[in-house]
C-alpha cells in the first residue's frame, strides 16, 4: 500500500457536498482529478475504514478479504470503465461485497440489512453502528520496541492494524479524520523509532494525535446527531454561525452559497460513505480557496499550499479581522418599522441574515449561545407581530439577548469556580455522580467517558480569556455525545426530552435535570465492594479508571442516596484502598475492610 499522501487532508470542520455531475471549470477539474487520484491510491485504507465502521465485530482477517476484493474491483474498473459494475456508487459496491461475503452477515447479525437495497440498506448499515464499544476487546498495545520492530519489518501491516482498530472503535468519525490520524501515527512511529528513549517519545507525541481524534469525534457526532434528530435546517444555522464568526467580511450571498455546500447532503459523511465524504470535503475546501479574496484575508498562504497541507492550514488559521466599517450592532432587526413584513416575506432568509449579522459581530459568543439568541428572536417576533404595536414590542430585543447571554455567562463562571474549588479529580467525581443520576441507563464505560470529557472542557477553558465560548462549546459537545447520533436512541423520558426538544437549549435543559425517577437499580451485589491486592499493582491511569468505574456503579446501585452520602461512601472506598495498599498483606486487609465500604 502506498504511503498516505494526505497528512492533514482537508480536515476543516465544514464538510459537504459533491454532486454526481462531473466538474467543467478548469480549477474544479484539477481539484476533482487530484481527489480522485487520492481515492484510487488509498483504496485499501478507505476500505478498511468503511468495513471496520460498518461491521465492528469483524476480524482483521475478514477485513483483509474485503480489501483484496475491492482492490481487484478498482483494477478492473481502471482497466475498463465501461463495465456495468463500474457505474455503481462506490458505497453501494462496498456494501454489496460485504453482504456477499460467505456467512459474514449471519455471523455478525446484519443479514437484515443485506435484504434491503440502496438508501434503505445504507440507513440500515448506519443504524447498525454501535457507539458504545464495550463489546470489543481492549485496544491492543505493543511496547515501543515491539512497535518499532513491527514498523520496520512490515509498516503496511502495522498501519492497517492500527487503522482497523481505531475505525471500529470510532464508527461515526469521518474518513478524512481517520486518514489523518493514521498519517500522524506513522509520523510518530517513524520519528520515535529513531530515538533512544522510545517510551517517552511515544507517550509525548501520541497525546496530540489522541486529542485530535477525540475532538473531531465529538464534533462530528454532535453535528450528525443534530442532522438526524432536527434535520438539515439546524445544521444550516450551525454553519451560518461558524462561518460568520470565522469569516466576518464575507458577503451574505457568498456565505449562503458556502453554507449550502457544507450542509446540504450532509448524509454522506454522517452515514459513513467514505468516498463521497472525501470528495465532498475536498469540494468545500476548493470553494473556500477559489473565493478567498471575498471570504478571508487569513487563508492566502494556506490556499497556495498543495492539497495535503491546505486543509489543516485553513482550520488552524485565526478568525478573520472584523471589518472596520462593521457597526457594533445591526439596528434593522430591532429598529425598523417593517421587521414583521420582512420576516413574513421570506422567513428562512430573514432569520439567516439575522444570524449572520449577529454572529459576525459577536466572535466572543459560543455557537450554542448564538443559536439560543436566534431562537429567542424567533419567539419574540412570533409574539410581537401579533400585537397592536409590533415595533414597540421588538424594540427591546437586545435586552432579551443580553439577558440570556448574562445567564449563560454566570453559569459558566460558576462552573469554573466549582473547578477551582474542587480541583480536577473532585470535579470529575461531581460530574460522574451527576451524569449517572440523570442517565443511569447508560453503560459504565460511557458514563466514565462523558465525565472525563466534561472535566476536559473545564481544564481546557477555565483559564482562557475566551472562557465562556470555550466552555459552552465543549460542554455542548458532551451533551451531544450523551444524546447520541441515532435519532431512535432512547435513555429515559427526561433525558430524551432534552435531547429532542430544542437543539439550542439542550444544555440549559440538562442543567435543570434531577435524578431519574423511572430508574430501577440492579439487585445489591457484594461483588461491587469486594477488592483484591491487584488494585495496588494498577498503574496510575488504570487505577483511576477502576476508581471511576466503581463510583459510577456505586451511584447506579444506590441511586436514591444524596450526593453527600455517595461522596462519603466513595471516600470510604478511597481510604480502604490507601490503607490496604500500605498494609503488609494487602489481600488480607481487603478481605477485612471491603465489606465495610457499603455499610
Report residue 214 CA to chain centroid gap.
7
Distance of alpha carbon 558 from alpha carbon 565, whole angstroms? 10
Look over the chain and give the mean of its residue pLDDT values, rounded to a whole number: 87
Query: For residues 179 and 153, is the Cβ–Cβ distance under 8 A?
Result: no
Nearest residue to 382 via CA among 360, 350, 405: 350
pLDDT the model gives residue 124: 92
pTM score, whole prediction: 0.86
pLDDT in tens, 198-221: 999 998 998 999 988 988 889 889
Averaged pLDDT, 250-278: 85
Averaged pLDDT, 517-535: 85
CA angle 103, 107, 113 (to 5 degrees): 85
Cell numbers linked to 161: 492494524
pLDDT the model gives residue 528: 81
Averaged pLDDT, 45-56: 94
Averaged pLDDT, 239-266: 88
pLDDT in tens, 324-364: 888 888 899 999 999 999 999 999 999 999 999 999 999 99
Q: How many CB atoms lie within 10 A of CB 130?
A: 14
pLDDT the model gives residue 479: 94
Task: Quote the DSSP letter at residue 231.
Answer: -
For residue 17, say if its preceding peptide bond is cis, omega within 30 degrees of 0: yes
pLDDT the model gives residue 26: 43
Q: How confident is the model at residue 518 (pLDDT cuts 50, 70, 90)?
A: very high
| Residue 197, pLDDT above cutoff 80 | yes
User: How far is CA 530 from each of CA 144, 447, 505, rounded to the nearest angstrom?
Assistant: 35, 22, 42
The residue ranking higher by pLDDT, 159 or 540, is 159
Question: What percent of the chain shows pLDDT beyond 90?
Answer: 54
Give domain 401-513's CATH architecture. Orthogonal Bundle (1.10)
Q: Please give the span between the terminal C-alpha atoms of the chain, in angstroms, as a whole number.
A: 59
Strand boundaries in 104-160, DSSP class E: none
pLDDT in tens, 228-252: 899 999 999 999 999 999 999 999 9
CATH number of 519-598: 1.10.246.10
| Residue 598, pLDDT above cutoff 60 | yes
- The response to whether 527 counts as a known ligand-binding position is no
Q: Angle between the 90-100 and 274-290 helix axes, to the nearest 10 degrees?
A: 160
Cell numbers linked to 139: 485496544
Averaged pLDDT, 123-129: 91
- Give the class (CATH, top level) of 35-217: mainly alpha
Distance of alpha carbon 595 from alpha carbon 598, whole angstroms? 7
CATH number of 227-362: 1.10.246.10
pLDDT the model gives residue 529: 80
Q: How is 239-297 classified by DSSP, letter by letter?
A: HHHHHHHH-TTS-HHHHHHHHHHHHTTTHHHHHT-HHHHHHHHHHHHHHHHHTHHHH-S
Maximal CA-CA distance, the chain: 83
CA angle 361, 364, 365 (to 5 degrees): 90
| Residue 20, pLDDT above cutoff 80 | no
Distance of alpha carbon 48 from alpha carbon 57, whole angstroms? 13
Report residue 77 CA to chain centroid gap.
35
In the chain, CATH 1.10.246.10 sits at 35-217, 227-362, 401-513, 519-598
User: How far is CA 374 from each of CA 351, 367, 469, rounded to the nearest angstrom?
Assistant: 7, 11, 16
Residue 48, H or E segment: helix 43-54
Question: What percent of the chain shows pLDDT beyond 70?
Answer: 92
Q: How is 72-85 classified by DSSP, letter by letter?
A: HHHHHHHH-TTSGG
pLDDT in tens, 293-311: 888 888 888 888 765 467 6
Q: State residue 162 phi and psi, 5-degree precision.
A: -60, -50
Spatial CB neighbours of 401, under 8 Å, sequence gap ≥ 6 = 358, 373, 376, 377
CA angle 81, 84, 88 (to 5 degrees): 85
| Residue 542, pLDDT above cutoff 60 | yes
Q: How many CB atoms lie within 10 A of CB 464?
A: 12
Query: For residues 36 and 283, is the Cβ–Cβ distance under 8 A?
Result: no
Amino acid at each position: 500500500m502506498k504511503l498516505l499522501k494526505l497528512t492533514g487532508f482537508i480536515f476543516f470542520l465544514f464538510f459537504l457536498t459533491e454532486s454526481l455531475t462531473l466538474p467543467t471549470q478548469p480549477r474544479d477539474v484539477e481539484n476533482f482529478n487530484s481527489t480522485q487520484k487520492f481515492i484510487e491510491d488509498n483504496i485499501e485504507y478507505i476500505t478498511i475504514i468503511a468495513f471496520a465502521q460498518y461491521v465492528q465485530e469483524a476480524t482483521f482477517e475478514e477485513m483483509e478479504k474485503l480489501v483484496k476484493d475491492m482492490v481487484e474491483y478498482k483494477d478492473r474498473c481502471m482497466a475498463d470503465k465501461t463495465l456495468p459494475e463500474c457505474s455503481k456508487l462506490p458505497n453501494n459496491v462496498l456494501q454489496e461485497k460485504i453482504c456477499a461475503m460467505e456467512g459474514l452477515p449471519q455471523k455478525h447479525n446484519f443479514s437484515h440489512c443485506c435484504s434491503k437495497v440502496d438508501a434503505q440498506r445504507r440507513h440500515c448499515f448506519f443504524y447498525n453502528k454501535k457507539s458504545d464499544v464495550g463489546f470489543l476487546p481492549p485496544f491492543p498495545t505493543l511496547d515501543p520496541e515491539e512497535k518499532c520492530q513491527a514498523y520496520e519489518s512490515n509498516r503496511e501491516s502495522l498501519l492497517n492494524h492500527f487503522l482497523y482498530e481505531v475505525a471500529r472503535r470510532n464508527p461515526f468519525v469521518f474518513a478524512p479524520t481517520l486518514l489523518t490520524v493514521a498519517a500522524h501515527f506513522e509520523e510518530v512511529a517513524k520519528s520515535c523509532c529513531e530515538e533512544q528513549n522510545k517510551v517517552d517519545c511515544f507517550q509525548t507525541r501520541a497525546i496530540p494525535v489522541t486529542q485530535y481524534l477525540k475532538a473531531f469525534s465529538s464534533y462530528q457526532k454532535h453535528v450528525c446527531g443534530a442532522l438526524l434528530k432536527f434535520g438539515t435546517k439546524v445544521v444550516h444555522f450551525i454553519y451560518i454561525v461558524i462561518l460568520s464568526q470565522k469569516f466576518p467580511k464575507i458577503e451574505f450571498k457568498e456565505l449562503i452559497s458556502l453554507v449550502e455546500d457544507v450542509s446540504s447532503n450532509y448524509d454522506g459523511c454522517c452515514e459513513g460513505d467514505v468516498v463521497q465524504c472525501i470528495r465532498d470535503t475536498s469540494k468545500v475546501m476548493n470553494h473556500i480557496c477559489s473565493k478567498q479574496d471575498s471570504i478571508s484575508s487569513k487563508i492566502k498562504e494556506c490556499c497556495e499550499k498543495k492539497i495535503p497541507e491546505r486543509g489543516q492550514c485553513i482550520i488552524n488559521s485565526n478568525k478573520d479581522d472584523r471589518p472596520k466599517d462593521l457597526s457594533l450592532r445591526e439596528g434593522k432587526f430591532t429598529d425598523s418599522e417593517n421587521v414583521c413584513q420582512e420576516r413574513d416575506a421570506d422567513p428562512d432568509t430573514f432569520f439567516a441574515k439575522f444570524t449572520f449579522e449577529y454572529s459576525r459581530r459577536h466572535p466572543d459568543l459560543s455557537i450554542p449561545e448564538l443559536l439560543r439568541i436566534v431562537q429567542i428572536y424567533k419567539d419574540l417576533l412570533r409574539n410581537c407581530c401579533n400585537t397592536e404595536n409590533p415595533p414597540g414590542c421588538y424594540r427591546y430585543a437586545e435586552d432579551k439577548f443580553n439577558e440570556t447571554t448574562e445567564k449563560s455567562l454566570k453559569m459558566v463562571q460558576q462552573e469554573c469556580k466549582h473547578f477551582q474549588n474542587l480541583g480536577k479529580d473532585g470535579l470529575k467525581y461531581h460530574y460522574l455522580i451527576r451524569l449517572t443520576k440523570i442517565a443511569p441507563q447508560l453503560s459504565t464505560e460511557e458514563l466514565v467517558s462523558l465525565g472525563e470529557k466534561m472535566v476536559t472542557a473545564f481544564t481546557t477553558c477555565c483559564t482562557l480569556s475566551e472562557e465562556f465560548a470555550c466552555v459552552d462549546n465543549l460542554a455542548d459537545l458532551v451533551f451531544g455525545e450523551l444524546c447520541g447520533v441515532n435519532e431512535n436512541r432512547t435513555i429515559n423520558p427526561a433525558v430524551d426530552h432534552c435531547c429532542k426538544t430544542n437543539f439550542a437549549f439542550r444544555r440549559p435543559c440538562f442543567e435543570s435535570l434531577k435524578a431519574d425517577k423511572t430508574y430501577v437499580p440492579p439487585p445489591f451485589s457484594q461483588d461491587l465492594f469486594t477488592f483484591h491486592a491487584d488494585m495496588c499493582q494498577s498503574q496510575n491511569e488504570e487505577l483511576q479508571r477502576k476508581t471511576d468505574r466503581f463510583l459510577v456503579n456505586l451511584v447506579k446501585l444506590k441511586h436514591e442516596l444524596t450526593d453527600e452520602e455517595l461522596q462519603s461512601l466513595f471516600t470510604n472506598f478511597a481510604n480502604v484502598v490507601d490503607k490496604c495498599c500500605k498494609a503488609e498483606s494487602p489481600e488480607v486487609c481487603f478481605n477485612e475492610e471491603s465489606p465495610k465500604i457499603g455499610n
